[in-house]
Amino acid sequence: MHEGLPAAAFLQLLELEKDDGFCRTGRSPHCTYVASEDDDRWMYGSCSPPTLPPALLGQPAPSVAPGAPSVPPSVPPSMPPSVPSGESPAPSAPKLPLVEVPKASVAGLVDLLVTTALPATAAKEPAGAAAKEPAAGEQRGAERVLNSTPSPEAIPVLMITHKRAAYLQRALASLFRYRPSQEQYPIIASQDGDDASVRSLLQKYLTSGELARHLRFSPKKFLPSGYERLCSHYAWAFSQLFDVLGFEQAIVLEEDLEISPDFFSYFQATWPLLRADPELFCISAWNDNGKAEIASNATAVYRSDFFPGLGWMLLRSFWMEVKGLWPTQYWDDFLRRPEIRRKRQCLRPELSRTHTFGEQGVSKGQFYKTHLAGNLLNSKQLDWSAVSLAHVATRANFEAYLTQQVKSAKLLPLEDSGKLLDAAVAFRYDDKQWKSVAQRFGLMEDEKAGVRRGSFRGVVPFSWHRRPAFLVESWPLVRSEP
């Protein structure tokens, strides 16, 4: 796996692999392994890098003063354990700088280095050495990957995948079909485990250049449930994108999601709002209440107190805020907790820009047949740069907009919901009635941390008989504190 890396980089990788005494099988030839009984993908032992003579590293042999303590051979004296970000190595000893990698990132660093479809660059080889061609999908040397700084305008699309190769192929096909620019939207797949079909598919797209990187995640301890494993995978993948690669934002998808024709246009238009407004923490392409009977307006966008997920964008700054608090399972419900959300919202459309076809997965099809399968995917190409988003640009703007919409709608009792009116309508509901009210209209009736799906301050906007409709608990018809 390490062939073609400069000697100094190889040593640095081995140092990073030593984390907590765990070694991934086959990752290093200098480990003593003891097999684990509960997880045969991992073996436990100790790792130490080989002792290489200074000449091989391109460094002069160190002089040791009489009586000075000896330096352990496992860490060459000329190579510090880490190099601060931005610091250049000494000119007399050219070598790769170390990257500060969080513990969660260590297991996949080598895969990050060698599985990339960035353009090949000439590796620095000793004079007279024969050039070695990189394997398909790999980059010659590690310098470009370690040292490259992504454009602040780049928006990587992170594809979380495990072992559903047919699902993954369908999801990637829609991305490749509608992506306007490989440079602005590099697609990075993060694979949990070692499923051969998934690995082969991703390697094919690496070779073709359609996929930018293939990351490989393997947890360092046995995780008994799929939810725990998925949660750990998300944390590791975010760490790769933001802590290691240095991207400023990312769109997150899973292998059972396909996108609409205007998916990228939607995110391109809403991304500036996320960067500008500290009261937003995500942009989502998904509407939980997106079935045909209750969603029809292709240009409608709302602020919501509920985190929708299923195709969403976050900023690096938000990851830096939450990574130290990351849970062991149920990462999406974690983002819905009041102390994490902190009265911030997400943007979400009325017509979803993603569609899930994943009946089989970690959630075992929860809500799939009753709600998710019937959600509409917008089928038309819409130029979102021509759509006004001023009403959702700030919380104050949206409160004013929603107040005007609700107060100008015709207020009806719930029992009149069957009446056909050629106008916007509003219905009052009591908190204790919520489940039956949601069922009346075909909305998702569950809630998380006291927040209903798609709601803002207790108001749930949707379409009813293809007209704007609002379920209102109290605000804005009754004055209340935000």
Q: Each residue of 309-331: pLDDT tens digit?
A: 999 999 999 999 999 999 999 99
For CATH 3.10.180.20, the residue range(s) in the chain are: 400-472
Strands 425-428 and 410-412: parallel
User: Can you tell me the distance from the alpha carbon of 203 to that of 200, in angstroms, rounded to the nearest whole number?
Assistant: 5
Active site residue 431: no
Asked if residue 130 has pLDDT above 50, the reply is: no
For CATH 3.90.550.10, the residue range(s) in the chain are: 147-392
User: Can you tell me the distance from the alpha carbon of 406 to that of 238, in angstroms, rounded to the nearest whole number?
Assistant: 39
Task: Look up the pTM and report it.
Answer: 0.73
Looking at residue 117, its pLDDT comes to 58
User: Can you tell me the distance from the alpha carbon of 408 to that of 387, in angstroms, rounded to the nearest whole number?
Assistant: 22
Looking at residue 389, its pLDDT comes to 98
Catalytic choice (332, 383, 416, 422): 332
Looking at residue 463, its pLDDT comes to 97
User: Can you tell me the distance from the alpha carbon of 254 to that of 389, in angstroms, rounded to the nearest whole number?
Assistant: 27
- Percent of the chain scoring above 70 in pLDDT: 66
Q: Give the least confident one: 81-90, 216-225, 272-281.
A: 81-90
Q: Where are the alpha helices (DSSP H) in 159-225?
A: 165-178, 196-208
Across the range 202-219, mean pLDDT stands at 96
CATH of 147-392, one of 2.60.120.560, 3.90.550.10, 3.30.930.10, 2.60.120.460: 3.90.550.10
- pLDDT band at 66; cut points 50, 70, 90: very low
What CATH code is assigned to 400-472? 3.10.180.20
Looking at residue 281, its pLDDT comes to 98
Q: Do the Cβ atoms of 290 and 376 come closer than 8 Å?
A: yes
